[in-house]
Protein backbone atom coordinates (compact mmCIF):
# COMPACT_ATOMS: atom_id res chain seq x y z
CA UNK A 1 0.00 0.00 0.00
CA UNK A 2 1.26 3.45 -0.88
CA UNK A 3 1.86 5.49 2.24
CA UNK A 4 1.27 8.74 0.44
CA UNK A 5 -2.03 8.21 -1.41
CA UNK A 6 -3.36 5.14 0.45
CA UNK A 7 -3.95 3.01 -2.66
CA UNK A 8 -2.92 -0.61 -2.88
CA UNK A 9 -0.84 -2.10 -5.68
CA UNK A 10 0.80 -5.40 -6.57
CA UNK A 11 4.60 -5.24 -6.31
CA UNK A 12 6.59 -6.47 -9.26
CA UNK A 13 9.91 -6.07 -11.01
CA UNK A 14 10.15 -3.25 -13.59
CA UNK A 15 9.91 -4.21 -17.22
CA UNK A 16 13.09 -3.84 -19.32
CA UNK A 17 13.19 -0.73 -21.44
CA UNK A 18 12.90 -1.06 -25.20
CA UNK A 19 16.05 -0.39 -27.19
CA UNK A 20 15.72 2.23 -29.92
CA UNK A 21 16.11 0.91 -33.48
CA UNK A 22 18.04 2.63 -36.24
CA UNK A 23 15.47 1.84 -38.93
CA UNK A 24 11.68 1.71 -38.85
CA UNK A 25 11.52 -1.96 -39.97
CA UNK A 26 11.08 -3.33 -36.46
CA UNK A 27 8.45 -0.73 -35.64
CA UNK A 28 6.54 -1.47 -38.82
CA UNK A 29 6.59 -5.24 -38.20
CA UNK A 30 5.37 -4.87 -34.64
CA UNK A 31 2.61 -2.49 -35.78
CA UNK A 32 1.46 -4.89 -38.49
CA UNK A 33 1.42 -7.82 -36.05
CA UNK A 34 -0.67 -5.81 -33.57
CA UNK A 35 -3.08 -4.86 -36.33
CA UNK A 36 -3.45 -8.47 -37.49
CA UNK A 37 -4.10 -9.69 -33.96
CA UNK A 38 -5.90 -6.58 -32.75
CA UNK A 39 -9.03 -8.41 -31.52
CA UNK A 40 -7.01 -10.90 -29.50
CA UNK A 41 -4.96 -8.12 -27.99
CA UNK A 42 -8.09 -6.24 -26.97
CA UNK A 43 -9.62 -9.34 -25.37
CA UNK A 44 -6.39 -10.08 -23.54
CA UNK A 45 -6.26 -6.49 -22.32
CA UNK A 46 -9.88 -6.61 -21.09
CA UNK A 47 -9.45 -9.83 -19.12
CA UNK A 48 -6.01 -8.91 -17.84
CA UNK A 49 -7.04 -5.48 -16.59
CA UNK A 50 -7.93 -5.15 -12.92
CA UNK A 51 -10.35 -2.49 -11.79
CA UNK A 52 -10.93 -0.60 -8.58
CA UNK A 53 -13.83 -0.56 -6.20
CA UNK A 54 -15.15 1.93 -3.70
CA UNK A 55 -15.08 0.97 0.00
CA UNK A 56 -16.11 2.91 3.08
CA UNK A 57 -14.40 3.02 6.46
CA UNK A 58 -16.04 1.29 9.41
CA UNK A 59 -15.13 4.12 11.76
CA UNK A 60 -15.40 7.47 9.94
CA UNK A 61 -17.49 6.22 6.93
CA UNK A 62 -15.09 7.86 4.48
CA UNK A 63 -15.04 6.25 1.02
CA UNK A 64 -11.99 5.66 -1.12
CA UNK A 65 -10.96 3.46 -4.06
CA UNK A 66 -8.92 0.29 -3.70
CA UNK A 67 -7.79 -2.37 -6.14
CA UNK A 68 -9.93 -5.48 -6.64
CA UNK A 69 -6.89 -7.62 -5.84
CA UNK A 70 -6.33 -5.98 -2.43
CA UNK A 71 -7.12 -8.01 0.71
CA UNK A 72 -6.93 -5.09 3.14
CA UNK A 73 -6.41 -1.35 3.25
CA UNK A 74 -6.17 1.58 5.64
CA UNK A 75 -8.55 4.52 5.72
CA UNK A 76 -6.80 7.66 4.43
CA UNK A 77 -8.81 9.74 6.89
CA UNK A 78 -8.50 7.97 10.25
CA UNK A 79 -5.94 5.24 9.33
CA UNK A 80 -8.31 2.50 10.51
CA UNK A 81 -7.76 -1.02 9.17
CA UNK A 82 -10.34 -2.28 6.65
CA UNK A 83 -10.56 -5.98 5.86
CA UNK A 84 -11.46 -6.80 2.25
CA UNK A 85 -11.25 -10.60 2.32
CA UNK A 86 -14.02 -13.04 1.47
CA UNK A 87 -14.99 -15.64 4.12
CA UNK A 88 -16.27 -19.15 3.51
CA UNK A 89 -17.44 -20.93 6.68
CA UNK A 90 -17.48 -24.73 6.41
CA UNK A 91 -17.11 -25.69 10.11
CA UNK A 92 -17.76 -24.12 13.52
CA UNK A 93 -16.64 -20.50 13.64
CA UNK A 94 -17.05 -18.18 16.64
CA UNK A 95 -14.84 -15.18 15.86
CA UNK A 96 -16.32 -11.80 14.97
CA UNK A 97 -16.15 -10.81 11.30
CA UNK A 98 -15.96 -7.29 9.94
CA UNK A 99 -15.10 -7.12 6.28
CA UNK A 100 -16.06 -5.35 3.08
CA UNK A 101 -15.89 -8.68 1.30
CA UNK A 102 -18.44 -11.47 0.89
CA UNK A 103 -19.52 -14.16 3.36
CA UNK A 104 -20.59 -17.69 2.42
CA UNK A 105 -21.95 -19.84 5.23
CA UNK A 106 -22.19 -23.35 3.81
CA UNK A 107 -24.68 -26.01 4.85
CA UNK A 108 -22.08 -27.63 7.15
CA UNK A 109 -21.02 -24.31 8.67
CA UNK A 110 -21.95 -23.09 12.15
CA UNK A 111 -21.39 -19.36 12.64
CA UNK A 112 -21.80 -18.32 16.28
CA UNK A 113 -20.06 -14.94 16.11
CA UNK A 114 -21.58 -12.15 18.17
CA UNK A 115 -21.43 -9.70 15.27
CA UNK A 116 -20.90 -10.21 11.54
CA UNK A 117 -20.56 -7.22 9.22
CA UNK A 118 -19.92 -7.83 5.51
CA UNK A 119 -20.70 -6.60 2.02
CA UNK A 120 -23.01 -9.48 1.03
CA UNK A 121 -23.79 -12.92 2.45
CA UNK A 122 -25.18 -16.31 1.43
CA UNK A 123 -26.66 -18.20 4.38
CA UNK A 124 -26.99 -21.98 4.01
CA UNK A 125 -25.96 -23.11 7.52
CA UNK A 126 -26.55 -22.24 11.18
CA UNK A 127 -26.37 -18.55 12.02
CA UNK A 128 -26.44 -17.84 15.74
CA UNK A 129 -25.26 -14.21 15.86
CA UNK A 130 -26.20 -10.87 14.35
CA UNK A 131 -25.68 -10.30 10.63
CA UNK A 132 -25.46 -6.92 8.93
CA UNK A 133 -24.91 -6.75 5.18
CA UNK A 134 -24.04 -3.62 3.28
CA UNK A 135 -25.70 -4.84 0.09
CA UNK A 136 -27.57 -8.16 -0.05
CA UNK A 137 -28.28 -11.29 2.00
CA UNK A 138 -29.49 -14.54 0.41
CA UNK A 139 -31.08 -17.10 2.74
CA UNK A 140 -31.26 -20.74 1.65
CA UNK A 141 -31.64 -22.36 5.05
CA UNK A 142 -34.11 -24.43 7.07
CA UNK A 143 -33.97 -23.58 10.77
CA UNK A 144 -33.96 -20.74 13.28
CA UNK A 145 -31.99 -17.49 13.33
CA UNK A 146 -31.87 -16.05 16.88
CA UNK A 147 -29.85 -12.92 16.00
CA UNK A 148 -30.71 -9.70 14.22
CA UNK A 149 -30.65 -9.60 10.43
CA UNK A 150 -30.33 -6.42 8.38
CA UNK A 151 -29.38 -5.77 4.75
CA UNK A 152 -30.19 -3.51 1.87
CA UNK A 153 -31.81 -6.42 0.01
CA UNK A 154 -32.88 -9.81 1.40
CA UNK A 155 -33.90 -12.82 -0.68
CA UNK A 156 -35.45 -15.92 0.91
CA UNK A 157 -34.98 -18.80 -1.51
CA UNK A 158 -37.69 -21.27 -2.48
CA UNK A 159 -36.51 -24.22 -0.36
CA UNK A 160 -36.03 -22.11 2.78
CA UNK A 161 -38.04 -22.40 5.98
CA UNK A 162 -36.52 -19.87 8.34
CA UNK A 163 -37.77 -18.52 11.66
CA UNK A 164 -36.24 -15.22 12.82
CA UNK A 165 -36.68 -14.41 16.50
CA UNK A 166 -35.67 -10.75 16.15
CA UNK A 167 -36.68 -8.00 13.78
CA UNK A 168 -35.53 -8.18 10.19
CA UNK A 169 -34.67 -4.80 8.65
CA UNK A 170 -34.19 -4.28 4.92
CA UNK A 171 -34.80 -1.80 2.15
CA UNK A 172 -36.56 -4.47 0.08
CA UNK A 173 -37.19 -8.19 0.49
CA UNK A 174 -38.24 -11.04 -1.80
CA UNK A 175 -39.82 -14.11 -0.20
CA UNK A 176 -39.89 -17.24 -2.36
CA UNK A 177 -39.91 -19.79 0.48
CA UNK A 178 -41.35 -19.79 4.00
CA UNK A 179 -40.39 -17.15 6.54
CA UNK A 180 -41.62 -16.37 10.04
CA UNK A 181 -40.40 -12.98 11.22
CA UNK A 182 -41.25 -9.40 12.07
CA UNK A 183 -40.14 -7.31 9.09
CA UNK A 184 -39.46 -3.59 8.90
CA UNK A 185 -38.76 -2.50 5.33
CA UNK A 186 -38.24 1.00 3.95
CA UNK A 187 -39.22 -0.27 0.50
CA UNK A 188 -41.41 -3.02 -0.95
CA UNK A 189 -42.02 -6.53 0.39
CA UNK A 190 -42.61 -9.05 -2.41
CA UNK A 191 -44.19 -12.44 -1.68
CA UNK A 192 -43.88 -14.73 -4.70
CA UNK A 193 -46.31 -17.47 -5.65
CA UNK A 194 -44.34 -20.04 -3.64
CA UNK A 195 -43.72 -17.71 -0.69
CA UNK A 196 -45.25 -17.87 2.79
CA UNK A 197 -44.80 -15.06 5.29
CA UNK A 198 -46.00 -15.19 8.89
CA UNK A 199 -45.52 -12.18 11.14
CA UNK A 200 -46.07 -8.45 11.40
CA UNK A 201 -44.86 -6.32 8.51
CA UNK A 202 -44.18 -2.59 8.36
CA UNK A 203 -43.25 -1.56 4.82
CA UNK A 204 -43.73 1.07 2.17
CA UNK A 205 -45.67 -1.37 -0.02
CA UNK A 206 -46.43 -5.08 -0.30
CA UNK A 207 -46.92 -7.24 -3.38
CA UNK A 208 -48.43 -10.74 -3.06
CA UNK A 209 -48.52 -12.89 -6.17
CA UNK A 210 -51.30 -15.39 -6.82
CA UNK A 211 -50.54 -18.41 -4.62
CA UNK A 212 -48.52 -16.46 -2.05
CA UNK A 213 -49.60 -16.53 1.60
CA UNK A 214 -49.35 -13.76 4.20
CA UNK A 215 -50.54 -14.08 7.80
CA UNK A 216 -50.07 -11.23 10.26
CA UNK A 217 -50.58 -7.52 10.80
CA UNK A 218 -49.65 -5.07 8.07
CA UNK A 219 -48.71 -1.41 8.38
CA UNK A 220 -48.11 0.55 5.19
CA UNK A 221 -46.24 3.79 5.79
CA UNK A 222 -43.18 5.00 7.66
CA UNK A 223 -41.05 2.26 9.15
CA UNK A 224 -40.30 4.25 12.31
CA UNK A 225 -43.93 5.06 13.14
CA UNK A 226 -44.89 4.09 16.68
CA UNK A 227 -48.20 3.93 18.47
CA UNK A 228 -47.38 7.02 20.53
CA UNK A 229 -47.06 9.09 17.35
CA UNK A 230 -50.68 8.32 16.46
CA UNK A 231 -51.93 10.34 19.46
CA UNK A 232 -51.99 14.15 19.62
CA UNK A 233 -48.87 15.51 21.23
CA UNK A 234 -50.19 19.00 22.10
CA UNK A 235 -50.19 20.28 25.71
CA UNK A 236 -53.17 19.37 27.84
CA UNK A 237 -55.45 22.29 28.67
CA UNK A 238 -56.81 22.43 32.22
CA UNK A 239 -60.52 23.34 32.61
CA UNK A 240 -61.20 26.94 33.79
CA UNK A 241 -61.93 27.39 37.50
CA UNK A 242 -65.61 27.80 38.45
CA UNK A 243 -66.89 31.34 38.94
CA UNK A 244 -67.64 32.34 42.54
CA UNK A 245 -71.25 32.15 43.59
CA UNK A 246 -72.20 29.47 41.07
CA UNK A 247 -72.95 25.90 41.97
CA UNK A 248 -70.66 23.43 40.35
CA UNK A 249 -72.43 20.46 38.77
CA UNK A 250 -71.09 16.93 38.98
CA UNK A 251 -67.76 16.34 37.30
CA UNK A 252 -68.18 15.54 33.67
CA UNK A 253 -65.97 12.93 32.05
CA UNK A 254 -63.27 14.20 29.71
CA UNK A 255 -63.76 13.44 26.02
CA UNK A 256 -61.95 10.36 24.82
CA UNK A 257 -58.81 10.90 22.75
Residue 241 within any structural domain of the chain: no
Tell me which of 81, 99, 124 is where a domain ends.
81
Tell me which of 65, 81, 97 is where a domain ends.
81
Angle between helices 25-36 and 38-48 (to 10 degrees): 80
* Arithmetic mean of pLDDT over the chain: 78
Residue 39 within any structural domain of the chain: no
The pLDDT assigned to 207 comes to: 94
CA dihedral 176→178→184→190, nearest 10 degrees, is: 20
How sure is the predictor about 38, in pLDDT bands with cuts at 50, 70 and 90?
low
The pLDDT assigned to 224 comes to: 54
Residue 41 within any structural domain of the chain: no
Tell which residue, 60, 84, 57, has the closest CA to residue 70. 84
73, 94: one domain: no
The more confidently predicted of residues 118 and 12 is 118
Residue 76 within any structural domain of the chain: yes
CA–CA separation, 226 and 25 (whole Å): 80
Tell which residue, 92, 186, 167, 170, has the closest CA to residue 138. 170
How sure is the predictor about 245, in pLDDT bands with cuts at 50, 70 and 90?
low
The contacts of residue 195 (CB under 8 Å, 6+ apart) are 156, 174, 175, 176, 177, 178, 179, 209, 212, 213
Model-level pTM? 0.67
Q: In the chain, how many domains are there?
A: 2
151, 77: one domain: no
CA–CA separation, 244 and 257 (whole Å): 30
Residue 234 within any structural domain of the chain: no
167, 193: one domain: yes
CA–CA separation, 56 and 174 (whole Å): 27
Residue 9 within any structural domain of the chain: no
Sign of CA dihedral 225, 226, 227, 232: negative
Contact assessment for residue 105 and residue 123, using Cβ atoms and an 8 Å cutoff: yes
106, 73: one domain: no
221, 108: one domain: yes
CA–CA separation, 71 and 51 (whole Å): 14
Residue 112 within any structural domain of the chain: yes
132, 151: one domain: yes
How sure is the predictor about 9, in pLDDT bands with cuts at 50, 70 and 90?
low
68, 175: one domain: no
220, 117: one domain: yes
Decide: residue 222, CB within 10 A, 0-12 exposed, 13-18 middle, 19+ buried: exposed
* Residue 67 bridge partners (DSSP): 52
User: Which has the minimum average pLDDT: 8-17, 41-50, 184-193, 215-224?
Assistant: 41-50
Residue 15 within any structural domain of the chain: no
The pLDDT assigned to 157 comes to: 94
146, 57: one domain: no
- What is the residue range of 63's domain? 53-81
| Mean pLDDT computed over 90-97 | 90
The pLDDT assigned to 222 comes to: 63
184, 60: one domain: no
What's the pLDDT tens digit per position in 106-153? 999 999 888 899 999 999 999 988 999 999 999 999 999 999 999 999
What's the pLDDT tens digit per position in 194-237? 999 999 999 999 999 999 999 999 998 764 544 333 334 445 44
Sign of CA dihedral 175, 177, 180, 181: negative
221, 120: one domain: yes
CA R_g for the chain: 30
58, 139: one domain: no
Amino acid sequence: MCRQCGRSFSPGSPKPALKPTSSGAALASSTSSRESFGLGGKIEGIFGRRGNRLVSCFECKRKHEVSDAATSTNCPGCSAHIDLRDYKITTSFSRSIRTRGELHLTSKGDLSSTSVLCKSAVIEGKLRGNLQCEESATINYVGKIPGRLSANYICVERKSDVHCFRRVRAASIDIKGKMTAEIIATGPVNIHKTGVLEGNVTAKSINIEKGGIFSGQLVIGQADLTQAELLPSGPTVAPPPPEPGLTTPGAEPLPAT
